[in-house]
C-alpha cells in the first residue's frame, strides 16, 4: 500500500455541517420526549379537580406551542448542533484573546456531576454541606495566597458581576467614611476590560479613562492629572489587553491611596502572573479572578462561570453575605457581615465551578501554577516573535518588549496593502478550524487582532496556528476575494445581517420569524 | 538565587517538557524561563513558591481526595428533600445532562455565528421555546439568575420611562430583594406594597396609594416566593399602566403548562429562573435568569443581554443566526445609557432549558403542572390532618410551594427540621428568621419527584414529632 | 439600488508636485508633470462594490468625473451631468471646475440616490456640501492633497466598503461630520487658516460585524446628545457658556432647545441665548467680568481644539476665560480616529499655546470622560 503523505501544517479542514432544521420544524403531533410521573389515584382523589380549582384568569387556556418530539429526535438534533459548535475540546484555542480558553480537565467535570455536588440544595443545613463548604473555604485560602488579599467571596457569578461588586464595595466604603458625595469618579485605563468602566457606571460613577503613552503603558502623567479628591477608586487590568504589563503599577496605586481612593484589580485573566506577582504587592485593595478563565473551568458557551472577589482586611466587612467561615472544626455560613453591600447573586454563587477550580489548583499545586504562568508567557512570546515575521502583521508599541499572556496585533499594513480587513481574516481563519479575535470596540489599535495561547497548546499547535495565519495572509495578497467572501468551510456562509437592526425585520424567536415572513 | 520551581511534565501542560521549553526559548532569544516576565519589576515579584497545599498530581489521588470531601455532603439524592425557595428539585432528564456535558457546548465560548452556529441555533431555539411558554415574542440569552433578571427588568423600566421608583410586594424573597436593591442603587428607589395577611396577595388600595408619577415599575410574582398565586394580576397591571408604569411579573416556568402566562394579564416584562427546566440545583449554581417582552422596539432596545436572531445567508435554504440590534444602547434615556454590562452569564443553562422544553412538549408541561398541583394539594391536605399544623398559612390557591404553619404546635421549625433531618428528611425552609411576622412557618416545596409515599412519610414524621415533642 | 458618484479628477494633482492643494492650480500642476490619480483611486473604491453589481446603478457625471471609471468596471451607469471639459490630462484644455462638481451633485440629489460617493479633498467636500448640504448621505474617497474634513474614509477601499455596507443596509445610522478647508492661497504663503464650511451626513460605521464579546458603543449622534445633556445638566446659574462650533457642540444648543449657529459661536447664560454667531468682540464683551466656560470640541480630522474653524475663540478669549475653564467634548469615534495622536492647539499666541499644553478631561459620554493630551501644533 502507498505511504500516505500527511506532512503539511495547514489543515485541510471542514467543519461539521448538518443543515439542521429549526427545532419547531421537527415537531410531530403526539410524539413525547420524556414522561412525567402521574399522581397516584389516592392523591388525585384527595386533590380533586385541580385544574378547575385554579382561579379563573390563571388557567392556561391554550397550551404552549412547544415542539412535540420523541427522545431520539431531540437527542440527534442537539448532538448535531453540538457538532456545529467549535468548543475548546476540539480546536487549538489561541484565537479567543482575552478569554483565556485553556484545557478544562475532564476529571473536574466528572467530580462536579456527582450527586454530592449536583443534588445539593443551597438551603440545606450547614452540617449536611460540610464538604462543599470546605472546598469553598480552602479555595478561598488558596486564592488569598495567590493574590495576597485577606478574604474571598464566590457569590459573584462572573467577572463582570465581580467588577460590579467591586464598584459596590467602593461605594459602600466611601458611604461608610462619609465621603461618597465628594467622590464620584472612577478611573480606569482604555485597554482594561470594558466592564471595568461599565460596572462602576451602573453605580452612578463618572468614569475617567486613561490612554496609553507612546510606549503603550497607561500614561502616568495623564493619570496624575486625573486623580483627585473626587477619585473614589481606580479599577484596571494589568497586563491590559495589549499584553503589556504596567511596570509602574505601584506608583499608580500609591497615588490613589494618597488621595483617599481605593484600588481594584481586574485579574479576570491572571494566567500569566500566577506565582509571579500578586495584587497585594502591586498595592491593590481588592481583586477578582475569573475561575472560567485563569482557573481552568469550562466556559459553557458563555456561563455558568464564576468570579472570585478578594479584598484586604479593611474591606472584609463590606463583602456580600454570607461568608464561609471555619471555626476549627466546622464550616459555617457567616451572615454577620456588618457593612455588607447586601447580595449580588442568589445563594452562594456557582459552587460547582468553584469545585472545578479547586480541583484544578489541587492538581497543579504552587509549582504547577508557576509552570502555568511561565508556559503561557513562553507560548505567547513565541507566537509573538513568529507572527511579527509575517509581512503585514505588526504590533502597536515596542515589539522588542515582552508581552505577558496575550498580544494585541495590528494588521493595518495588510489592510492598506490588500483591502482585506481583520474581520475578513477572522472569518477566513474559521475555514481552518481556528478562532481569531479582533478587539473590543472602538478599535484604538487599527485592524486589531488579539491572540492568547495560554499554557495549553503544544509547540506543534502553535506552529500550526502560525502557519495557518501566514497562509491566510498570503491569500490576502494573492487572492483577496477568497478571504473577503469567507467562510467557505465553516458551518454556514456569510450571514445577511441587513435585517438585524430593523424592528420590522428582526426575528428573535421562531414565532416572530413566522409572523414577519408571512408564513403563519 | 531564587528558590522558585515549576512542575515539569504536567499532564495539562504539553510545553512543560524542559527540552521543548529550551528549544522555544532559544527561538525567541532567551536562555531561561526566568528571563520571561522581564516587564514585571523585581520589587513586586515573588521570590519563592506560593504556600499552597501540595499537588495531587495523579488523577487517582485527586479524584479520591475530592470525592472524599464531597462525601461529607448529604445530597438530596440521599435525603428526602422539601426545600425550594428559589432553587427546586425537579427531575432532570438524562438527555439534558447528555447535551450539556457535550465537550463542544461545555467548552465553547465566544465564537462567530459560523463556527459556533450550533451555539447560536440552540440559544435561538431556547429563546423561541421560552417565548411560547410565556407567550411573548422576545426572550434573552439568559442572565445570572431570577434575582438578576428582576433587577435588570427594573432598570429596563426605569430607562424606558425615566422614572425612579419601583414598587415591590412587602412580602417577597428578601434575598432576591437584596440583589435587586444593590443592583439598582443609586438610580432606583424601592417602595414596598402591603399585602392581605390572609392571602398574601397585594393590597390594591395600598398599591394605588403608593403609585404616583414617579413610579417606573410594579413588580410581583406568580407563583409568589411563598407559593400562593396572585389572582389580581389583571387589576395590578391596569393600575400600573394607568400611571404610565411598567408591569413586571416574575414567574416559575414549571407552572406554565397549567397557569396562564403573565402576558395574559398585562405583564410588559416577564422574568424568572430556568433552573426548574432540566438543570440540577448544584447548591444554587444551577440558577439562570430569563427576561421576556413583546417584540416592540421600545422594549427590545432596553435589553442589556444578547438577543440572537435568525437570518438568511448568502446560500439559499441555509439558516443563519446573529445578534439582533447589537447597538441597542442608543435608544431611550441617554443619561442612563449603556450602563449594564453583558459578559459570561449562564448560556449553558439556556441550552439545557431548551432541551428540556423540547423533550417535554406541551403535553409534558401540562402533566408536570398538573402533577405538582395534585401532589402539593395532597401534601397540604395530609399536613392539615396533624394537630396544630396548618398545611397552608395563606388562604389562596398555590403552586408547588406552600407555607406550613407550625405555630400552634408550640414547636419551632428549627426543632422540627432538626428532628426531620435525623429521619433523612430536609424539611421546608425555616421562615421564622427572615419573616418573623409569620410566626413558626416553613416553606415546603413539592414537585413531580415527590410521590405519595414520600409525602405520607413526611406527614407521618411531622405528626410523630409534634405529638411526641413536649411543647415549648 | 442607486449610488451617486462624483470624481474630482484633478484632486491630488497639486500634492505630487509640491503645491499645497490644487484649487485653481490644476493647470500649473499638470504643467509641472503631475499624474492624475484620483480616477485610479476611485477605481479601488468601486471594486469593493463588486458583489452588488447586479442591482446597482451608478449616477454620475461624464468622462473623468465618474463615467470613465464606472464604465471601466462595467457597472450600470447613467450620466446626469456633462462637463464641457472632459479630459484633465490634456493641458491645453481647461480642467473641470468646482461648478461642475456642484452641478453634478445637485443632479444626483434630485435623482434620489441612497448615497453619494465623491472623490477628492477638502475643496471637493466643500463643493458637495454647497450643493447637497445635509440632505443626502455621502461618503468621501480620499484622493486630494488636503484631507482635514472627517467626511473622508481612511482609504479608497474603506470608502468602497462603507458604501457597500450602507447600500446593503448593514449600516443604517448616519453621523454628522465637519467640512473644513484651509485657505490655500494663505497656505501656500505658509499660513494655516482653516475654516469650517458646514457639515455632511456620512454613514456611521460604529457597528462592526465581528468580534462581539462585549457591549457596543453609542452611535455617534447619540453619544453627541449624551455629552450635550451632561453639559446642560451641569450648567451653573449666572455662568456664561461660550459654545464653539462643531457637530458635537451644536448638540448643546439642541439640548437647550435654542437655535444653534451652524458654523459660529453661540453664547448662553442661565439657559438663555445671549448672543448668536458671536464674533471675538461679542464674546469678549459677554464674558467680561463674569465667570465663563468655553465649550469646545476638536474640529476636523486633525484634532484641533483651537485655531481651526473656530478663530472667534481667540487667544484673548481664552485668556479671559482661563485655560482651566475649558470644557472639551468629543465622541469616542473622533478620538479613535486620531489613532493615538494628541489633540492640538494653535491659537496664534505661542505663549498661550504652551500654557494650554497638558492633559484635559474630554467628555465622551454622559458619565464617561477620557484624560487626553493636548500639544501645540
Total number of domains constituting chain C = 2
Nearest chain C residue to A209 by CA: give it.
Answer: C370
Q: Residue B304: its chain C contacts at CB < 8 A?
A: 215
Distance CA A321, CA A286 (A): 17
- Please list, in sequence order, all residues whose beta carbon lies within 8 angstroms of the beta carbon of residue C43, skipping any fewer than 6 positions away: C69, C72, C73
Distance CA A462, CA A473 (A): 17
Distance CA C178, CA C201 (A): 9
Range list of H helices, B199-277: 204-210, 233-242
Yes or no: domain B80-87+370-468 corresponds to CATH 2.60.40.10: no
As a residue count, chain B comes to 472
pLDDT for the residue C150: 86
**Whether residue C180 sits in one domain with residue C32:** yes
Classify residue A112 as left (phi > 0), alpha (psi -120 to 50) or beta: alpha
**Whether residue A180 sits in one domain with residue A149:** yes
**Whether residue C256 sits in one domain with residue C146:** no
Q: DSSP state, B447?
A: -
CA torsion angle C73 C78 C81 C82 (round to 10): 70
Q: Do B334 and C367 touch (CB under 8 A)?
A: no
At C187, is the pLDDT very low, low, confident or very high (cuts 50, 70, 90)?
Answer: low
- Counting Cα atoms < 13 Å in the Cβ hemisphere of B408 gives 10
**Whether residue C269 sits in one domain with residue C181:** no
**Whether residue C186 sits in one domain with residue C231:** no
**Whether residue A455 sits in one domain with residue A333:** no
Q: Do C210 and A207 touch (CB under 8 A)?
A: no
Nearest chain B residue to C229 by CA: give it.
Answer: B335
Q: Residue A347: its chain B contacts at CB < 8 A?
A: 86-87, 175, 283-284, 287
Q: Does C206 touch chain A (CB under 8 A)?
A: yes
Cell of residue A347, nine digits: 445563594
Q: DSSP state, C365?
A: S
Q: Does B326 touch chain C (CB under 8 A)?
A: yes
Parent domain of C67: 2-203
**Whether residue C231 sits in one domain with residue C259:** yes
**Whether residue A329 sits in one domain with residue A303:** yes
pLDDT for the residue C211: 41
pLDDT for the residue B331: 46
- Tell me the average pLDDT across B434-449: 97
Min Cα distance B464 → chain A (Å) is: 21
Q: Does C361 touch chain A (CB under 8 A)?
A: yes
Q: Do A508 and B139 touch (CB under 8 A)?
A: yes
Q: Do C336 and A443 touch (CB under 8 A)?
A: yes
pLDDT for the residue B335: 63
What is the number of CB-based contacts under 8 A between chain A and chain B? 727
**How buried is residue B9: exposed, middle or buried, by Cβ count under 10 Å (0-12/13-18/19+)?**
exposed
Q: Does A334 touch chain B (CB under 8 A)?
A: no
Q: Give pLDDT tens digits for B152-201.
A: 999 999 989 989 999 999 999 999 999 999 999 989 999 999 999 999 99
Distance CA C281, CA C267 (A): 12
Buried b (16+ CB within 10 A) or exposed e, A189-207: bbbbbbbbbbbbbbbbbbb
Q: Does C173 touch chain B (CB under 8 A)?
A: yes
Q: Which of A310, A329, A362 is the last residue of a domain?
A: A362
More confident position, C230 or C215:
C230
At C215, is the pLDDT very low, low, confident or very high (cuts 50, 70, 90)?
Answer: very low
Contact indicator for C377, C345 with CB cutoff of 8 Å:
yes
Q: Which of C147, C175, C203 is the last residue of a domain?
A: C203
Q: Give pLDDT tens digits for B305-323.
A: 899 999 999 999 999 999 9
**Whether residue C91 sits in one domain with residue C179:** yes
Distance CA C345, CA C313 (A): 11
Q: Residue B340: its chain C contacts at CB < 8 A?
A: 215
**Whether residue C234 sits in one domain with residue C182:** no
Q: What angle do CA B244, A198, B301 make, to 5 degrees?
A: 40
**Whether residue A353 sits in one domain with residue A237:** yes
Distance CA A149, CA A144 (A): 5
Q: Residue C234: its chain B contacts at CB < 8 A?
A: none
Cell of residue A312, nine digits: 484586604
**Whether residue C175 sits in one domain with residue C103:** yes
CATH architecture of B94-356: 3-Layer(aba) Sandwich (3.40)
Q: Do C369 and A211 touch (CB under 8 A)?
A: no
Averaged pLDDT score across all residues of chain B: 95
Q: B193-202, C29-38, C132-141, C323-332: which range is least confident on average?
A: C29-38
Q: A75-84, B381-390, C75-84, C163-172: which range is least confident on average?
A: C163-172
Decide the pairing of beta strands A262-267 and A231-237. parallel
pLDDT for the residue C219: 73
- Counting Cα atoms < 13 Å in the Cβ hemisphere of B77 gives 16
Distance CA A103, CA A454 (A): 9
pLDDT for the residue C222: 81
Min Cα distance A183 → chain C (Å) is: 14
CA distances from A248 to A217, A245, A254, A256, A261 (A): 9, 9, 10, 13, 18
Distance CA A437, CA A447 (A): 11
Contact indicator for C138, C128 with CB cutoff of 8 Å:
yes
pLDDT for the residue A228: 97
**Whether residue A415 sits in one domain with residue A323:** no
- Residue B382's Cα: distance from chain center in Å? 30
Min Cα distance B329 → chain C (Å) is: 6
Q: What pairs with residue A304 in β-bridges?
A: none
Q: Which of C203, C232, C261 is the last residue of a domain?
A: C203
Q: How many CB atoms lie within 10 A of CB B165?
A: 18
CA distances from C29 to C90, C95, C118 (A): 12, 11, 21
Residue C47 belongs to a domain: yes
Q: A265-269, B104-108, B446-450, C26-30: which range is least confident on average?
A: C26-30
Q: Do A438 and C155 touch (CB under 8 A)?
A: no
- Residue A403's Cα: distance from chain center in Å? 21
In the stretch 393-412 of chain B, residues with CB closer than 8 A to chain A read 397
**Whether residue A383 sits in one domain with residue A337:** no
Contact indicator for B165, B189 with CB cutoff of 8 Å:
yes
Min Cα distance A139 → chain B (Å) is: 10
pLDDT for the residue C21: 65
Distance CA B338, CA A201 (A): 9
Q: For residue A118, give the nearest of B92, B100, B282, B93 by alpha carbon.
A: B282
Q: What angle do CA A290, A123, B379 make, to 5 degrees?
A: 140
**Whether residue C76 sits in one domain with residue C46:** yes
At B336, is the pLDDT very low, low, confident or very high (cuts 50, 70, 90)?
Answer: low
Cell of residue C339, nine digits: 489613532
**Whether residue C122 sits in one domain with residue C63:** yes
Residue C208 belongs to a domain: no
Q: Which of C50, C203, C212 to mutate to test the interface with B (most CBs of B within 10 A)?
A: C212
**Whether residue A437 sits in one domain with residue A379:** yes
Distance CA B53, CA B50 (A): 9
- Write the residue in C213, C233, C366 that is nearest to B110 by C-beta: C213
- SS3 sequence of A360-423: HHHHHHHHHHHHHHHHHHHHHHHHHHHHHCCCCCECCCCCCCCCCCCEEEECHHHHHHHCCCHH
Q: Residue A510: its chain B contacts at CB < 8 A?
A: 124-125, 128, 131, 310
pLDDT for the residue C40: 87
**Whether residue C17 sits in one domain with residue C135:** yes
At C312, is the pLDDT very low, low, confident or very high (cuts 50, 70, 90)?
Answer: confident
Q: What pairs with residue B292 in β-bridges?
A: B139, B270
Distance CA C308, CA C345 (A): 9
pLDDT for the residue C214: 45
Distance CA A335, CA C15 (A): 73
Chain C: touching chains (3 or more CB pairs < 8 Å):
A, B
Cell of residue C18, nine digits: 509640491
Q: For residue A35, give the nearest of B368, B154, C351, C253 by alpha carbon.
A: B368
Cell of residue B439, nine digits: 410566626
Q: How many CB atoms lie within 10 A of CB A336?
A: 10
Domain boundaries, chain B: 1-50, 80-87+370-468, 94-356
Buried b (16+ CB within 10 A) or exposed e, C78-98: ebbbebebbbbeeeeeebbbe
pLDDT for the residue C351: 93
Nearest chain B residue to C220 by CA: give it.
Answer: B330
Q: Which of C203, C233, C248 is the last residue of a domain?
A: C203
Total number of domains constituting chain A = 2
Q: For residue C24, give the nearest of C174, C127, C150, C131 by alpha carbon.
A: C127
- Checking if the pLDDT of C275 tops 90, the result is yes
Q: Do A446 and C339 touch (CB under 8 A)?
A: yes
Q: Residue C371: its chain A contacts at CB < 8 A?
A: 208-211, 219, 222-223, 225-226
Q: Does B304 touch chain C (CB under 8 A)?
A: yes
Q: Does B283 touch chain C (CB under 8 A)?
A: no
Parent domain of A474: 373-484
More confident position, C194 or C72:
C72
Q: Do C215 and B342 touch (CB under 8 A)?
A: yes
Q: Does C254 touch chain B (CB under 8 A)?
A: no
In the stretch 57-116 of chain A, residues with CB closer than 8 A to chain C read 98-99
- Tell me the average pLDDT across B102-127: 97
The whole-model pTM stands at 0.91
At C34, is the pLDDT very low, low, confident or very high (cuts 50, 70, 90)?
Answer: confident
Q: Does B266 touch chain A (CB under 8 A)?
A: no
Distance CA B84, CA B227 (A): 10
CATH number of the domain to which A129 belongs: 3.40.640.10
- Write the residue in C161, C209, C372 that is nearest to A211 by C-beta: C372
Q: Which of B21, B24, B75 to mutate to test the interface with A (most CBs of A within 10 A)?
A: B75
Q: Residue A289: its chain B contacts at CB < 8 A?
A: none
Sequential DSSP letters for A85-150: S--TTTS-TTSSTTS------HHHHHHHTSHHHHT--TTS-GGGBHHHHHHHHHHHHHHHHHH--S
Q: Does C183 touch chain A (CB under 8 A)?
A: no
As a residue count, chain C comes to 377
ipTM (interface pTM): 0.97
Q: DSSP state, C113?
A: -
Residue C213 belongs to a domain: no
Q: Residue B261: its chain A contacts at CB < 8 A?
A: 60
B64-68 long-range contacts (CB < 8 A, ≥24 apart) are B65/A362, B66/A111, B66/A135, B66/A355, B66/A358, B66/A359, B66/A362, B67/A111, B67/A114, B67/A116
**Whether residue A235 sits in one domain with residue A331:** yes
- Checking if the pLDDT of B360 tops 90, the result is yes
Distance CA C159, CA C156 (A): 5
Q: Does B329 touch chain C (CB under 8 A)?
A: yes
Task: For chain A, 520 residues long, give each residue's pLDDT as a single digit of tens.
Answer: 999 989 899 999 999 999 999 999 999 999 999 999 999 999 999 999 999 999 999 999 999 999 999 999 999 999 999 999 999 999 999 999 999 999 999 999 999 999 999 999 999 999 999 999 999 999 999 999 999 999 999 999 999 999 999 999 999 999 999 999 999 999 999 999 988 998 999 899 999 999 999 999 999 999 999 999 999 999 999 999 999 999 999 999 999 999 999 999 999 999 999 999 999 999 999 999 999 999 999 999 999 999 999 999 999 999 999 999 999 999 999 999 999 999 999 999 999 999 999 999 999 999 999 999 999 999 999 999 999 999 999 999 999 999 999 999 999 999 988 989 999 999 999 999 999 999 988 889 999 999 999 999 999 999 999 999 999 999 999 999 999 999 999 999 999 988 888 899 999 999 999 999 985 4
Distance CA C136, CA A407 (A): 41
Q: Give pLDDT tens digits for B174-186.
A: 999 999 999 999 8
Q: Residue A427: its chain B contacts at CB < 8 A?
A: 112, 114
Q: Does A333 touch chain B (CB under 8 A)?
A: no
Q: Do B327 and C225 touch (CB under 8 A)?
A: no
Residue C211 belongs to a domain: no
Q: Do C215 and B341 touch (CB under 8 A)?
A: yes
- Helices A459-478 and A422-430 pack at an angle, to 10 degrees, of 120
Q: Do A209 and C358 touch (CB under 8 A)?
A: no
Chain B: touching chains (3 or more CB pairs < 8 Å):
A, C
Q: Residue C155: its chain A contacts at CB < 8 A?
A: 415-416, 419
Q: Do C217 and B304 touch (CB under 8 A)?
A: no
Q: Does B419 touch chain A (CB under 8 A)?
A: no
- Checking if the pLDDT of C143 tops 70, the result is yes
Residue A150 belongs to a domain: yes
**Whether residue C179 sits in one domain with residue C110:** yes
Amino acid at each position: 500500500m502507498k505511504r500516505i503523505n500527511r506532512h503539511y501544517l495547514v489543515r485541510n479542514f471542514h467543519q461539521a455541517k448538518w443543515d439542521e432544521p429549526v427545532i419547531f420544524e421537527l415537531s410531530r403531533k403526539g410524539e413525547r420526549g420524556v414522561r412525567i410521573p402521574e399522581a397516584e389515584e389516592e392523591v388525585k382523589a384527595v386533590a380533586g379537580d385541580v385544574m378547575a380549582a385554579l382561579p379563573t384568569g390563571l388557567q392556561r387556556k391554550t397550551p404552549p406551542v412547544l415542539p412535540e418530539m420523541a427522545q431520539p429526535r431531540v437527542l440527534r438534533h442537539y448532538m448535531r448542533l453540538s457538532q456545529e459548535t467549535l468548543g475548546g475540546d476540539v480546536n487549538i484555542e489561541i484565537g479567543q484573546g482575552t478569554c483565556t480558553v485553556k484545557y478544562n480537565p475532564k476529571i473536574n467535570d466528572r467530580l462536579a456531576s456527582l450527586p454530592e455536588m449536583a443534588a445539593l440544595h443551597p438551603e440545606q443545613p450547614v452540617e449536611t454541606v460540610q464538604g462543599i463548604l470546605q472546598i469553598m473555604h480552602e479555595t478561598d485560602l488558596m486564592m488569598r495566597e495567590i493574590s495576597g488579599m485577606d478574604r474571598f467571596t464566590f457569590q459573584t457569578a462572573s467577572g463582570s458581576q465581580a467588577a460590579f461588586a467591586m464598584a459596590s464595595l467602593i461605594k459602600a466604603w466611601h458611604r461608610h467614611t462619609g465621603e461618597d458625595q465628594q467622590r464620584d469618579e472612577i478611573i480606569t485605563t482604555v485597554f482594561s476590560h470594558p466592564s471595568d468602566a461599565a460596572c462602576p457606571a451602573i453605580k452612578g460613577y463618572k468614569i475617567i479613562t486613561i490612554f496609553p503613552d507612546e510606549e503603550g503603558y497607561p500614561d502616568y502623567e495623564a493619570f496624575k492629572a486625573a486623580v483627585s479628591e473626587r477619585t473614589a477608586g481606580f479599577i484596571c487590568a494589568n497586563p491590559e489587553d495589549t499584553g503589556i504589563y504596567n511596570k509602574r503599577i505601584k506608583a499608580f496605586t500609591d497615588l490613589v491611596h494618597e488621595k483617599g481612593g481605593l484600588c481594584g484589580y481586574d485579574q479576570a485573566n491572571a494566567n500569566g502572573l500566577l506565582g509571579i506577582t500578586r495584587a497585594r504587592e502591586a498595592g491593590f485593595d481588592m481583586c477578582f479572578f475569573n475561575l472560567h478563565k485563569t482557573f481552568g473551568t469550562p466556559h459553557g458557551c458563555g456561563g455558568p462561570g464564576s468570579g472570585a472577589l478578594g479584598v484586604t482586611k479593611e474591606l472584609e466587612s463590606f463583602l456580600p453575605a454570607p461568608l464561609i467561615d471555619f471555626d476549627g472544626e466546622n464550616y459555617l455560613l457567616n451572615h454577620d457581615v456588618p457593612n455588607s453591600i447586601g447580595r449580588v447573586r442568589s445563594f452562594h454563587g456557582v459552587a460547582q465551578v468553584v469545585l472545578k477550580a479547586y480541583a484544578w489548583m489541587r492538581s497543579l499545586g504552587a509549582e504547577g501554577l508557576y509552570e502555568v504562568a511561565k508556559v503561557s508567557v513562553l507560548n505567547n512570546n513565541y507566537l509573538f516573535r513568529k507572527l511579527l515575521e509575517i509581512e503585514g502583521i505588526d504590533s502597536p508599541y515596542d515589539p522588542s518588549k515582552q508581552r505577558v499572556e496575550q498580544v494585541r496585533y495590528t494588521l493595518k499594513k495588510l489592510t492598506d496593502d490588500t483591502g482585506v480587513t481583520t474581520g475578513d481574516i477572522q472569518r477566513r481563519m474559521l475555514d481552518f478550524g481556528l478562532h481569531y479575535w479582533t478587539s473590543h470596540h472602538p478599535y484604538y489599535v487599527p485592524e486589531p487582532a488579539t491572540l492568547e495561547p495560554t499554557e495549553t497548546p503544544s509547540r506543534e499547535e502553535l506552529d500550526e496556528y502560525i502557519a495557518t495565519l501566514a497562509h491566510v495572509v498570503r491569500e490576502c495578497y494573492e487572492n483577496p476575494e477568497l478571504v473577503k467572501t469567507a467562510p467557505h468551510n465553516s458551518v454556514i456562509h456569510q450571514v445577511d445581517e441587513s435585517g438585524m437592526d430593523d424592528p420590522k425585520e428582526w426575528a428573535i424567536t421562531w414565532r416572530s420569524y413566522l409572523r414577519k415572513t408571512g408564513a403563519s | 538565587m531564587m528558590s522558585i520551581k515549576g512542575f515539569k511534565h504536567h499532564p495539562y501542560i504539553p510545553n512543560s517538557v524542559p527540552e521543548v521549553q529550551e528549544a522555544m526559548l532559544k527561538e525567541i532569544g532567551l536562555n531561561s524561563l526566568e528571563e520571561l516576565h522581564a516587564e514585571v519589576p523585581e520589587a513586586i515579584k515573588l521570590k519563592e513558591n506560593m504556600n499552597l497545599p501540595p499537588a495531587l498530581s495523579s488523577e487517582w489521588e485527586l479524584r479520591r481526595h475530592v470525592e472524599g470531601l464531597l462525601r461529607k455532603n448529604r445530597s438530596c439524592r440521599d435525603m428526602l428533600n422539601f426545600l425550594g425557595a428559589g432553587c427546586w428539585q425537579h427531575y432532570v432528564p438524562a438527555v439534558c445532562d447528555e447535551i450539556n456535558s457535550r465537550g463542544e457546548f461545555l467548552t465553547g465560548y465566544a465564537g462567530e455565528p459560523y463556527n459556533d452556529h450550533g451555539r447560536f441555533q440552540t440559544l435561538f431555539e431556547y429563546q423561541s421555546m421560552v417565548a411560547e411558554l410565556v407567550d411573548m415574542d422576545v426572550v434573552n440569552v439568559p442572565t445570572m439568575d431570577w434575582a438578576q433578571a428582576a433587577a435588570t427588568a427594573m432598570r429596563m423600566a426605569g430607562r424606558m420611562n425615566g422614572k425612579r421608583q419601583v414598587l415591590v410586594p412587602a412580602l417577597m424573597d428578601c434575598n432576591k430583594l437584596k440583589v435587586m436593591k444593590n443592583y439598582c442603587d443609586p438610580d432606583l428607589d424601592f417602595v414596598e406594597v402591603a399585602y392581605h395577611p390572609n392571602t398574601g396577595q397585594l393590597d390594591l388600595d395600598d398599591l394605588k396609594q403608593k403609585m404616583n408619577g414617579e413610579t417606573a415599575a410594579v413588580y410581583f410574582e406568580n407563583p409568589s416566593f411563598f407559593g400562593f398565586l396572585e389572582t389580581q394580576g389583571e387589576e395590578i397591571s391596569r393600575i400600573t399602566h394607568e400611571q404610565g408604569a411598567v408591569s413586571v411579573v416574575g414567574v416559575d416556568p414549571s407552572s406554565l403548562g397549567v397557569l396562564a402566562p403573565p402576558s395574559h394579564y398585562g405583564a410588559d416584562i416577564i422574568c424568572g429562573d430556568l433552573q426548574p427546566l432540566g438543570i440540577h440545583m448544584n447548591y444554587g449554581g444551577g440558577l439562570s435568569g430569563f427576561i421576556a417582552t413583546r417584540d416592540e422596539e421600545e422594549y427590545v432596545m432596553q435589553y442589556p443581554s444578547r438577543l440572537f436572531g435568525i437570518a438568511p445567508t448568502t446560500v439559499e435554504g441555509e439558516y443563519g443566526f446573529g445578534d439582533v440590534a447589537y447597538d441597542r444602547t442608543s435608544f431611550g434615556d441617554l443619561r442612563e445609557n449603556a450602563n449594564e454590562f453583558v459578559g459570561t452569564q449562564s448560556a449553558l443553562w439556556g441550552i439545557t432549558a431548551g432541551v428540556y422544553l423540547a423533550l417535554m412538549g406541551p403535553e409534558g408541561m401540562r402533566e408536570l403542572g398538573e402533577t405538582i398541583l395534585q401532589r402539593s394539594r395532597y401534601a397540604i391536605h395530609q399536613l392539615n390532618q396533624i394537630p396544630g399544623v396548618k398545611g397552608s398559612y395563606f388562604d389562596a390557591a398555590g403552586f408547588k410551594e406552600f407555607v406550613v404553619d407550625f405555630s400552634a404546635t408550640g414547636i419551632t421549625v428549627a426543632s422540627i427540621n432538626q428532628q426531620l433531618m435525623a429521619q433523612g428528611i430536609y424539611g421546608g425552609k425555616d421562615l421564622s428568621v427572615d419573616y418573623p411576622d409569620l410566626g413558626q412557618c416553613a416553606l415546603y416545596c413539592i414537585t413531580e419527584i415527590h410521590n405519595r409515599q414520600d409525602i405520607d412519610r413526611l406527614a407521618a414524621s411531622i405528626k410523630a414529632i409534634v405529638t411526641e415533642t413536649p411543647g415549648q | 439600488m442607486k449610488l451617486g458618484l462624483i470624481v474630482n479628477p484633478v484632486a491630488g494633482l497639486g500634492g505630487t508636485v509640491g503645491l499645497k492643494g490644487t484649487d485653481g492650480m490644476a493647470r500649473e500642476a499638470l504643467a509641472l508633470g503631475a499624474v492624475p490619480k484620483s480616477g485610479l483611486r476611485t477605481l479601488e473604491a468601486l471594486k469593493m462594490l463588486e458583489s452588488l453589481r447586479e442591482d446597482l446603478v451608478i449616477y454620475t457625471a461624464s468622462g473623468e468625473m465618474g463615467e470613465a471609471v464606472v464604465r471601466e468596471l462595467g457597472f450600470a451607469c447613467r450620466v446626469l451631468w456633462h462637463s464641457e471639459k472632459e479630459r484633465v490630462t490634456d493641458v491645453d484644455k481647461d480642467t473641470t471646475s468646482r461648478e461642475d462638481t456642484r452641478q453634478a451633485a445637485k443632479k444626483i440629489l434630485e435623482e434620489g440616490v441612497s448615497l453619494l460617493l465623491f472623490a477628492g479633498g477638502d475643496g471637493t467636500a466643500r463643493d458637495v456640501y454647497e450643493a447637497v448640504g445635509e440632505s443626502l448621505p455621502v461618503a468621501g474617497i480620499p484622493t486630494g492633497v488636503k484631507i482635514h474634513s472627517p467626511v473622508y474614509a481612511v482609504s479608497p477601499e474603506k470608502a468602497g466598503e462603507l458604501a457597500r455596507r450602507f447600500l446593503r443596509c448593514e449600516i443604517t445610522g448616519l453621523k454628522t461630520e465637519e467640512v473644513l478647508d484651509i485657505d490655500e492661497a494663505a497656505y501656500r504663503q505658509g499660513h494655516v487658516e482653516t475654516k469650517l464650511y458646514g457639515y455632511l451626513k456620512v454613514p456611521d460605521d460604529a457597528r462592526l460585524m465581528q468580534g462581539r464579546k462585549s457591549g457596543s458603543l453609542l452611535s455617534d449622534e447619540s453619544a453627541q446628545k449624551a455629552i450635550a445633556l451632561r453639559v446642560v445638566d451641569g450648567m451653573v446659574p449666572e455662568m456664561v457658556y461660550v459654545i464653539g462650533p462643531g457637530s458635537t457642540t451644536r448638540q448643546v444648543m439642541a439640548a437647550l432647545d435654542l437655535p444653534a449657529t451652524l458654523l459660529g459661536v453661540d453664547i448662553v447664560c442661565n439657559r438663555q441665548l445671549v448672543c448668536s454667531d458671536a464674533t471675538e468682540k461679542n464674546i469678549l464683551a459677554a464674558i467680561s467680568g463674569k465667570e465663563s466656560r468655553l465649550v469646545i470640541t476638536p474640529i476636523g480630522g486633525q484634532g484641533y481644539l483651537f485655531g481651526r474653524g473656530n478663530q472667534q475663540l481667540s487667544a484673548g478669549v481664552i485668556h479671559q476665560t482661563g485655560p482651566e475653564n475649558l470644557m472639551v467634548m468629543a465622541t469616542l469615534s473622533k478620538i479613535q480616529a486620531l489613532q493615538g495622536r494628541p489633540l492640538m492647539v494653535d491659537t496664534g499666541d505661542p505663549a498661550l499655546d504652551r500654557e494650554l499644553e497638558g492633559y484635559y478631561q474630554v467628555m465622551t459620554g454622559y458619565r464617561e470622560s477620557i484624560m487626553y493630551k493636548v500639544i501645540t501644533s
